[in-house]
Every structure is written in C-alpha cells, then in structure tokens.
Amino acid sequence: MYDIQSFSSLLQAPSVMFPASAPMPLLNGMKGRPNLKQGNLIQPEVAEQVDDTNAHASDLVHQLVVLAAPILATRQTVSPLVVTLGFPSNTYHTYKESASAQLMGKHVVELSNNDAEIDEVEIVEINIARVEVLPMIVSCMIALRKGPDQVSGSFAVLSLGFGTVETGLSTDNGVVTSATSSIPGLHRAVNLVRSQLEKDYDVRLDNLQQLDEAFQEGYIYINSKLIDLRAIRKQALETYYEEVVSPALQSVLNDKSLQIAKRLYLCGGGAYYADLIACFTAEFATKAAVHVVDKPELVASKGYLLNSLRFATDALEQAVGLDMGAIATRVATF
C-alpha cells in the first residue's frame, strides 16, 4: 500500500550531490544548487556538524530536503502534487507558513546522475498544488487511526525521535492540546555515549551519522578495535529517560491524561531500543497498556501521506507525505 523512500538529512560541503538509498537511478545522485551534499554518500565523512534537533524551515538543510523530497516523489506520482509535512510541536507555529510557501507552486530543478561536473542535465518540473503542515505528533495519530491499525477511542502517543520526542493525546473528538509537547530527543543519549567513549579512548568523535549507526548497532570500531556499546548504551538510555523524558512526561501524561487514555503507543526510531521501552513499561505498565507500533520509524510518514490523500481529488498518486527528521528523511507515496 505504501511506498516509502529514505535518505539522509545531513549535509556536507562542497559537493552538489543528493544521493539516497532507494533502488532507482535518480536516487543514485541528485545534483542541485547550492553546493551541498546530501544523502548516503556523506556517511563516511560528515564534514559539517549539524544541529541535533530537527531542522527549521529557515535552515538551508530544510530548504534542500524540501526540494529533494518532491523530486523523488515525481517518479511515481501524478501532478499536481499534494504534500504534507510537519514540525515538532515547539516549532510548528513558527515555521508553518514559511515551509508552506517554500513548497507551494511550480519548481524547475536541474538533475545530474553522477558526482562529476558534466554538461548534460535532466530538467524536472514539479507542480505542487497544495501543502499541508501538521504538528509531527498529529501525523502519528492519523496513521494509527486511519492506517491499518484503525485505532479508535482515546490514546496517548509518543514519537521517539533523534531530534525530539513528541507527545500527544488523541480522542475521538480531536487532539488534547495540553498533552502536546516536544522533549529533547535521543541525541541526548547518543551524546552520553560519545562523551564516555571520548573519555575512555582519548578520541574525538564528530561524525554524527556514524555515531547514530553505532548506537543502533551496539558496537563501534576505534583504533581498529571492536568496542561493544550495549552496556554503555543501556546506561545512557536509562539516564536519558530518568533525567529528561520521565520528568517532562509528568506534566503531559499525568493522572488526568491517563484517566482519559488507557493506552500508550510508542513510535519513532527510538522504539526499537528495548532498554528504552523497558523504562516506559516500568513507569506506565500499571497506568496504561504500552504498545510499540509496527515499523515505528515509518509511522509519521504514513500519517502525512494519509493526510495528503484527503486532498488528492483526482488520483491517490497525487498524495505525498514528507517526514524530515534530524537524521533521516522519508518520502511516502502510494
């Protein structure tokens, strides 16, 4: 039903490539302006550190990703496009209008399929008829209610991202705004591991992409030595939960909220960490049923896509969902 393509949200100068992971020629390298590289090729050597939090609409990283995503979508969609994207709750109102303005209308982009400077380019025209901008957590609610799970009634939902953790409470009558918030994301735990490794091995670890991958995989090579990160990661996740997540949840998932919602759904890439899920279970198991959503990292992009479908009056292939995270960006189509 869904087709979801992913590419890196990180940037590196001075190349002009937009490589990505999906198995199609376009995604092997998209060339654009200005001179910045984006996608899988940056992973071995990220030259410029980016913010740990999700990009803002005024940032160059956001502008480039917003440009790249509909280019990918044009290969399997019908013009004009209907695009939905989102922001964390704490920046949604600030950047909603500017993000919409960047995407709306017709765009002409020059593409090249390799890293060299060549004369031959492909001209791609993108026509975007409608742009919807949502709070990120609302997209997760849409996916849970309108997607295959067909969840009904009242429930709490957390999106565990690298940049932010988004919180929300959904009822059949709408979103409970008092339970909507943004909490610093898993970059806090990753940075704890980084600090420990730099201290123990007297190294400097600046490659954000590789650090995140090592954190996920549970090991890293330092000076040709394999380092098991699982124990350090467990401690970092528990510290992050106790010092950052749990205190912040006291005000949004309090007794009043849990009286309304007896279920807690966990989505986002952080939901893959069993040690982190154990923290949620220990705190909430006696208060609510804790559920980890299937393929949690894809939930937001599916919700954005389903929202676009509401306005795709001519064909469902007009709909595009854009989930731009701090580490990875996902483009969802039908």
Given this model, what pLDDT does residue 327 score? 87
Given this model, what pLDDT does residue 61 score? 56
Count Cβ neighbours within 10 Å for each residue of 123-144 and write b for 16 or more, e otherwise: ebebebbbbbbbbbbbbbbbbb
Question: What's the mean per-residue pLDDT of the chain?
Answer: 84
Q: Which of 216-225, 281-290, 325-334 has the lowest mean pLDDT?
A: 325-334
73-80 mean pLDDT? 78
The answer to whether 105 and 131 have CB atoms below 8 angstroms apart is no
Given this model, what pLDDT does residue 66 score? 67
Indicate the pLDDT class of residue 93, thresholds 50, 70 and 90: very high
Given this model, what pLDDT does residue 59 score? 61
178: DSSP letter: G
Indicate the pLDDT class of residue 174, thresholds 50, 70 and 90: very high
Q: Which of 1-15, 67-81, 101-115, 248-262 has the lowest mean pLDDT?
A: 1-15
Given this model, what pLDDT does residue 118 score? 52
Query: 148: exposed, middle or buried (C-beta count within 10 Å: 0-12, 13-18, 19+)?
Result: exposed
Count CA atoms within 13 Å of residue 162 on its CB side.
27
Which residue's structure tokens are 């969802």? 332
Given this model, what pLDDT does residue 57 score? 54
User: Helix %, strand %, coil % for the chain, to 5?
Assistant: 40, 25, 35
Closest CA to 110 of 100, 125, 96: 125
Domains located in the chain, CATH noted = 3-133+304-333 (no CATH), 150-293 (3.30.420.40)
For 53-108, give the DSSP string. Answer: SPPPTTSHHHHHHHHHHHHHHGGGS-SSEEEEEEE-TTTHHHHHHHHHHHHSEEEE
Indicate the pLDDT class of residue 17, thresholds 50, 70 and 90: very low
List, in sequence order, every residue forming a beta bridge with 6; answer none if it has no partner.
330
Indicate the pLDDT class of residue 14, thresholds 50, 70 and 90: very low
pTM: 0.86
Q: Which helix (H) or strand (E) holds 275?
A: helix 274-284
Given this model, what pLDDT does residue 9 score? 78
List, in sequence order, every residue forming a beta bridge with 122; answer none if it has no partner.
111
